[in-house]
Chains A and B, each alone.
Chain A
Amino acid sequence: MSTISTTHDHAHDHAHDHPHGWRRWLFATNHKDIGTMYLIFAFVSLLAGGVMALGIRLELFQPGLQYLRPEFFNQLTTMHGLVMVFGAIMPAFVGFANWMIPLQIGASDMAFARMNNFSFWILPVAALLLFGSFLAPGGAPSGGWTLYAPLTLQMGPGMDMAIFALHLLGASSIMGSINIIVTILNMRAPGMTLMKMPMFCWTWLITAYLLIAVMPVLAGAITMVLTDRHFGTSFFSAAGGGDPVMYQHIFWFFGHPEVYIMILPAFGIISEVVPVFARKRLFGYASMVYATSSIAILSFIVWAHHMFTTGMPVTGQLFFMYATMLIAVPTGVKIFNWVATMWKGSMTFETPMLWAIGFIFVFTIGGFTGLVLAMAPIDIGLQDTYYVVAHFHYVLVAGSLFAMFAGFYYWCPKWTGRMADEFRGKIHFWGSMFFFNLTFFPMHFLGLAGMPRRYADYPTQFADFNLIASIGGLGFGLMQVYFLLYVVLPAYRGHGKKAPDSPWETANTLEWTVPSPAPFHTFEQPPKVS
């Protein structure tokens, strides 16, 4: 009966009442804690994947085989891709979503708090399986992150571990997506119509639908590989009536929307940051929503542009070429919108804005090389060369990763209660920008000159550009260690300037109405949006 008398006090104290110690994390149901765990997981993966990339660059520093055997080199290229896509970029965006979506729509938490916990804790298990494959006989999978059959049928048990890891990661993504969709559709504060939502929530809503649509397709493809490997089926083996190219069709039906899964939330972050630092409304909010949706829909009908060299019929090549080039239109609309938002604004260039402008600049280069690659005849010259490697690093590193850095510097005050150090942030930005381009720009030339990707060794004529790329890669890696040690950790340890609730002048989304750092519970009473 004592509870009755304490009800009032309890409600008062609620914002600070939460489990402590390991229970807080293992049994976490709080969207902010889970978001933080996602971000930590992603950053650890980023560093692990980065070390693998440096191993690759070390071997390619000079022609000849110096440090790695080619079969281990192939394991590194494969695992670098898998870890960066499924371990770093995707979980990082889910981390951003967990932190920011409830805060931006005025919800008290994610819709399914315990599923949220589950979808996170699947990840470390999957990561153990994935990294553990290095210890399996025959090592980690070495068939490329695309896991093309029938090469994957030749791998050792490491391949099976990777397949199970991907199943788990896919399940986690699907749960995360369901959570995000339900949260956004049902838990918006009164008065916040869909067309009043911040762009970040819009892009994630669309991304979540893409994830639900395509993750099962990946699961299907790799399960068929699994049964081909062990249970005598021959989905992808011609000897039993299967077709190796069918694997590629199924994989890329997942793979191309996957590319947009990794970039749409980045568009969302940039659309939040640019208006705030230009002190001007986003130029075309509605057209941004429509452009994002068109990109998402088009992403389902362009997959075979990854397969121009498989020998498709001429009509197939033409269809996929035209459809792919069409994507340039909504993507262009986005770039124009950001530029129009800056036009006649009153801009300042704090670190988040630098990253956002850097993103627009370098991502556009990646977009243009994408347009070049969309042309089937040119693609046949460039397929599987370093030009493709350059292209997708321009859109995934300079795209997704740079946008996430913009997001970190932008929301760091809300997450940590401290402003990220401006000076160090600028060093991080300019250093990353320089070394990123040093690493990947020369790869365009290597690709045009014909250097195939996934090669452990190369003709001596390619030596100089490879040497430059290796130096750039090391520099880029070190900049991210600098970011961790000198920007992220100090902010979390409470060094640096204390952040006010709303540190950026014109930021008017809901997350800036709660204290910095955001308390454990926010919006227990939904805010009213006019």
Chain B
Amino acid sequence: MNIRKLLTKIWFALGFGIWSVTVAAQDMPGGPKVNQLNFPAPATKIMEEIHWLHWFMMIICLLIFIGVFSVMFYSIYKHRKSKGAQPASFHESTSVEIIWTVIPLLIVIGMALPATKTVVAMKDTTNADITIKTTGYQWKWGYDYIKGEGEGISFLSTLSTSREAINNLAPKSPTYLMEVDHEMVVPVNKKIRMITTANDVIHAWAVPAFGVKQDAIPGFVRDTWFRAEKIGTFRGQCSELCGAQHAFMPIVVRVVSDEDYTKWVAEKKKEMAANADDPSKVYTLAEQMDRGAKVYATNCAACHQPNGKGAGAFPALDGSKVALGPKAGNFTILINGKGAMPKWGGVLSDGDLAAVMTYYRNAWGNKTGEVVQTQEFASVRAGK
């Protein structure tokens, strides 16, 4: 990097640093408000109850706090040696001890009762209108509509904030870090059952405005539910540490009217049909490079970096002996993963895998000139 480039970088960083503190102070639609002090505005009944419970607890705790500490500070003020206070000699009183054990016990029971009702309601996932399975991947969410209107829809949802914005080389939008390429869409006032699972490590699917947070556990399924009562976009973030890019796999749910939902389902199905790969089609290098670049940017660049140079523990692909080595080794690592490299088989389609392999074997300084075809991945995965 020459000096001019470095200076430009520093200039940008400074500029956007100041800008982000002063100008960017703008509420996020469906996300946190600037300097928000409390839970987000509820979009479900459950979240309303959580709000209520929280205020209820806050008020009781505050009253006890004021009570206990006015006694303590009164004592600190009055019973000090400098004011000539003589120490009393009382100690041990069984009746006092019993009183201050029983009263807190009653208060605690009083707190637990209303919470019980909400716990039971939160756990009731029966009679759902639509069931959606979400799968946590390092580092993105996959959605499969498995029951109800829209059944069969399936897509991945990846952070759409640019790396430049994260690295302070481009301005940060109000939805910075909480925006995705494909939002999960649900109809308003319908009970949505969310089934969570994960592909690699534990993630957590959370939308604060719905009062929903459910760990997504590899190899297991868990469920939760919500019934959004407002049309709009609602945002959340992965809430269980899942590795380096933990901060970069948000959740965005768009709640729409019934008609809009039906329209969305139709569009999405058409799009999926158009995107389905014909495994026997033979692509040219240019086609594969084009598609591969996109797949690389959304799935690989976070670790291996957009320039293919890698970072820290993540190896470089540019000039790598492995990446440029025999195809067989590449198939294995891409499909089955290795160490921190996730399994991509079953996550990305064979077409995407072929394209991205073509891309990294022909991008930057890599020039194999070979095109990898969808068919090759299909046969490897079929065990041929």
Seen from chain A, the residues whose Cβ lies within 8 Å of a Cβ on chain B are 62-66, 69-72, 74, 137-139, 142-144, 148, 150-151, 154, 156, 237-239, 243-245, 278-287, 309-311, 313-314, 317-318, 321-322, 325-326, 328-329, 332-333, 335-336, 339-349, 357, 360-361, 364-365, 368, 371-372, 375-378, 380-381, 383-385, 445, 448-452, 454-465, 467
Contacts and interface: CB of A to CB of B under 8 A. Distances in A.
B58 to A, nearest CB: 7
Contacts of B33: 449, 461
A472 to B, nearest CB: 16
Contacts of B105: 326, 329
B239 interface: yes
Which 10 pairs from chain A and chain B are nearest by CB?
Answer: A238-B219, A311-B222, A449-B36, A344-B88, A71-B244, A455-B247, A314-B123, A377-B118, A368-B61, A460-B24
B219 A239 contact: yes
A453 to B, nearest CB: 8
Contact of B167 (A64, A139, A156): A64
Identify the interface centre among B47, B82, B115: most chain A CB within 10 Å of its CB: B115
Nearest to B170: A64
Nearest to B85: A346
Identify the interface centre among B47, B206, B239: most chain A CB within 10 Å of its CB: B239
B236 interface: yes
Identify the interface centre among A64, A72, A239, A336: most chain B CB within 10 Å of its CB: A64
Interface in B31-54: 31-40, 46-47, 49-50, 53-54
Contacts of B312: 69, 71-72, 138-139
Interface stretch (B197-205, B261-269, B273-281, B287-295): B197-205
A279 B88 CA distance: 9
Contacts, number: 342
A309 B204 contact: yes
A314 B119 contact: yes
A449 B54 CA distance: 13
A63 B118 CA distance: 35
A332 B67 CA distance: 13
Interface stretch (B70-78, B149-157, B322-330, B350-358): B70-78
B36 A62 contact: no
Given A335-B68, A463-B20, A314 B32 contact: no
Given A156-B313, A310-B217, 7 more contacts: A66-B168, A139-B312, A238-B220, A309-B204, A318-B116, A383-B213, A452-B246
Given A148-B241, A287-B97, A450-B40, A375 B88 contact: no
Given A64-B165, A65-B166, A335-B68, A383 B239 contact: yes
B68 A448 contact: no
A383 B241 CA distance: 12
Identify the interface centre among A336, A357, A360, A464: most chain B CB within 10 Å of its CB: A336
A371 B61 contact: yes
6 contacts: A63-B172, A283-B90, A284-B92, A332-B100, A364-B69, A456-B247
Identify the interface centre among A70, A245, A321, A380: most chain B CB within 10 Å of its CB: A380
A347 B79 contact: yes
Interface in B9-35: 13, 16-17, 20-21, 24-28, 31-35
Given A311-B224, A450-B208, A461-B27, A345 B104 contact: no
B118 A244 contact: no
B215 interface: yes
B313 A381 contact: no
A325 to B, nearest CB: 5
A445 B39 CA distance: 9
B112 A357 contact: no
A381 B247 contact: no
Given A344-B75, A347-B81, A445-B35, A377 B119 contact: yes
A143 to B, nearest CB: 7
Contacts of A143: 241
Nearest to A153: B201
A310 B31 CA distance: 24
B308 interface: no
A231 to B, nearest CB: 17
Contact of B88 (A70, A239, A345, A451): A345
B347 to A, nearest CB: 15
Given A139-B313, A339-B72, A325 B172 contact: no
A450 B76 CA distance: 38
Contacts of B201: 148, 150-151, 154
Contacts of A459: 28, 31-32, 175-178
A457 B166 contact: yes
Contacts of A347: 75-76, 79-81, 85
Given A372-B54, A450-B208, A457-B177, A69 B311 contact: yes
B223 interface: yes
B217 A244 contact: yes
B282 interface: no
Contacts of A329: 101, 104-105, 108
A281 B71 CA distance: 18
A282 B93 CA distance: 12
B244 A142 contact: yes
A504 to B, nearest CB: 12
Nearest to A70: B244
A154 B32 contact: no
Contact of A245 (B20, B85, B87, B217): B217
A377 B211 contact: yes
A454 B54 contact: no
Contact of B68 (A282, A364, A375): A364
Interface string B319-350: 00000000000000000000110000000000
